[in-house]
Structure 1
């Protein structure tokens, strides 16, 4: 796995964190809400920057693949955080489709070609 994939995975994690901060903003007011807003701005900025960085350099990830993997990692992370932080339901079908999404992300990474 080249460095761009590591950068992309970290960017996807920050995408999950910016979604988490949106949920926390809805649950808070005043200074707490402002803190979550600042966290959101930081997380979304880092997420986008890392997505951008993963598509450049010596071994760039193709744009379509990078975006799909980044969004998929963010989606998986957001569902997991929703379960852990917001006590969202854990059902067979949620876990089943989450698993298929994870397999799709891995498949995209394994079949990705380097952009020329």
Structure 2
């Protein structure tokens, strides 16, 4: 696998992680079986994609980027889908996470 494909798998894994978090929220502690099942499928998918990415990418960088994608994505999903606050401080700190991801990708 090429490094480019590794990065694509990593980004796909991060986005799948966000979808997993949304499904977990919707599952409401396993009260909604469809969402619970979806969350388990998404969990398996993001682990598979992350495993593929780690075959060719440095562990520290890949894991930091993956968690950053998840953090940024879940904060955005919380704001858009669940009405969580979009305060200036939250957005500023998410910007710092994004800057860290870009910095790791470039180095």
* Structure 2 length-normalised TM: 0.92
Deviation of 1:21 after TM superposition, in Å, equals 0.9
Question: 1:48-72 CA deviation, whole Å, 9 max, x = no partner?
Answer: 111110011xxx1111111111111
Q: Which runs of 5+ in 1 are unaligned?
A: 112-116
Residue 24 of structure 1 is matched in structure 2 by: 26
| Superposition RMSD in Å | 1.5
Alignment partner, residue 109 of structure 1: 105
Task: Return the alpha-carbon distance in structure 2 between the equivalents of residues 110 and 50 of structure 1.
Answer: 21
- Separation in structure 2 between the aligned mates of residue 92 and residue 39 of structure 1, nearest angstrom: 33
Which runs of structure 2 are paired with 1:67-106 in the superposition (5 Å)? 67-106=63-102
Partner SS for 1:89 = coil
Relative to structure 1, the CA distance from residue 89 to residue 27 in structure 2 (aligned partners, 3 Å threshold; closer, same or farther) is farther
- Structure 2 unaligned blocks of 5 or more: none
Higher Rg: 1
State whether structure 2 residue 7 is matched by structure 1 residue 5: yes
Report how many aligned residue pairs link the two structures. 105
Per-residue Cα deviation, 1:71-115 (whole angstroms, up to 9, x for no partner):
11011100000011101011000000001101101111111xxxx
TM-score by length of 1: 0.85
C-alpha distance in structure 2 between counterparts of 1:8 and 1:45, whole Å: 14
Runs of 4+ in 1 over 4 A off after TM superposition: none
